[in-house]
Amino acid sequence: MNIRLKRHALPALSLCWIMSACATLPELGRLSDTLEPRAVPVVTRADGTVLPRRSTRELLAKRWSKSGLDLKTQAALEEAATGVPLIAGNKVTLLFDGPHTMGEMLKAIAAAKNHINLETYIFDQDVLGMKFADALIERQRAGVAVSVLYDSVGTLGVPQEFFERMRAAGIRLVAFNPVNPARLRGDAWIINNRDHRKVLIVDGKAAFTGGINISDTYAKSSLFRSKTKRPEQSQLGWRDTHVKIEGPAVAAFNWLFIRTWAGQDAADLPEAQFFPPLGEMGDKLVRVIGSEPGGGFEIFKAYILAIQEARRSIHITSAYFVPDPQTVDALCGAARRGVDVKIVLPGVSDSGLVFHAGHALYDQLLGCGTRIYHLKLAVLHAKTAVIDGVWSTIGSTNIDRRSFLHNSELNVVVLGESFGREMEDAFLEDLRGSVEITPQQWRRRPIADRVKEWAARMVGYWL
């Protein structure tokens, strides 16, 4: 069962979802006209105190791009839209593809001294999954408090013995929103709400997040940034992006993890120093945005706002792309006002329905000036964006209704030109491995593909 199928599980579960009431995204309009931002956005320091206004202005001015976003205004608007402050003094490291990311995560786990909190949509019982399980068990036996929160649909095909082995070693585990109604917690059985986050927190000092699950899918590299001849698709791993964050922002990750754990009516977390004193580790301004079903649509608002305010460029890499009408309108509005809008999407996919549902919107997007590219060879699973070279986001959120409405997701927003350049470099590498879909080419696609697009769009809400 592949990752996307796990995302929707089995046909029987699909029937439950279809029978449930359809939630809707809020009508946002032009966000900058409706929000009431502070004159200067809130920026917290390593000790948790608020940076003075003057210092905040100076900090943001250093990151301001004359030809792009006014970061002070953007930061204040985003704070008003999401209710989440910026956190200064962080080190942010981009991680690409499976072997590199998994190696860094396993290294961090091996060095853990106090606690490990892992939240993941998929935790497979395969070679890589067993390696992580063994590493977590070793740390638990060494006296480290290990807690694992995994999604019950994302792990539907995983034998319970896999998790029981970790539980027997003393690790605390919680299956998010159990599929079996007999294990119901609370009053309602809302099978459609899933925990799609991918977060690893070690000792409250380092946090990893992005699009990568614990699965052998990531055992091979996609040869991202490789200058060598690319092999056949069967020899490649998936193309994804993760980040490692060190510094004061890690506390926000642990806070979100604890809130989600407590919301599952689970046993108490073990005693641990979840919020150690954190000094500055770098110069990156970070906003850690979590969203959940029935919440404030924080990540959706952050995306729409950034797209609406873009002046120069919008560069998006998206694994599953079935945007709602407001997102399409925002992208088209940006393209019409001269913004360079480029979107890298999968050329090959693990989910035919989502693949074709996204294609159903190409006519509209291409017609308004948006440029679309298909990544070849590797399966694309990254979920990133960089706007005007200064506003960047990496996380678990796909640009579709499922992520915005029904999933618990987590995205990191990083403000600044230096990190923006790294993101732009990565985007250019994706373009290097992609082919552009032109309007003329798209109009010549086969009738059979058009029929698939129509059929997929009919069930697009549940994808």
Greater confidence (85 vs 226) lies with: 85
Task: Scan for tokens 């919440």, then name that residue.
Answer: 295
The predicted-structure confidence for 48-65, as pLDDT tens digits, reads as follows: 899 998 888 888 876 655
Q: What pLDDT is recorded for position 463? A: 56
**H-helix or E-strand spanning residue 169:** none
The predicted-structure confidence for 275-334, as pLDDT tens digits, reads as follows: 999 999 999 999 999 999 999 999 999 999 999 999 999 999 999 999 999 999 999 999
Q: Is the pLDDT of residue 213 over 90?
A: yes
pLDDT tier at 254, thresholds 50, 70, 90:
very high
Q: What pLDDT is recorded for position 19? A: 43
* Tokens (6 digits) for 289: 């945005």
Q: What pLDDT is recorded for position 227? A: 54
Rounded CA gap, 272 and 26, in Å? 39
Cβ-based neighbours of 330, under 8 Å, separated by 6 or more? 304, 307, 308
Q: What pLDDT is recorded for position 190? A: 76
Helix 53-61 to helix 71-82 angle (10° resolution) is 120
Q: What pLDDT is recorded for position 228? A: 55
The predicted-structure confidence for 174-193, as pLDDT tens digits, reads as follows: 999 998 766 655 545 678 89
Of 64-78, 260-274, 378-392, give the lowest mean pLDDT range: 64-78
The DSSP bridge partners found for residue 13 are none
Cβ-based neighbours of 439, under 8 Å, separated by 6 or more? 366, 367
Q: Is the pLDDT of residue 244 over 70?
A: yes
Rounded CA gap, 266 and 94, in Å? 33
Q: Is the pLDDT of residue 365 over 80?
A: yes
The answer to whether residues 178 and 185 touch, using CB atoms and an 8 Å cutoff, is yes
Task: Scan for tokens 């109009």, then name that residue.
Answer: 443
The predicted-structure confidence for 402-412, as pLDDT tens digits, reads as follows: 999 999 999 99
Q: 263 in the Ramachandran plot: left (φ > 0), alpha (ψ -120 to 50) or beta?
A: alpha
Rounded CA gap, 18 and 24, in Å? 14
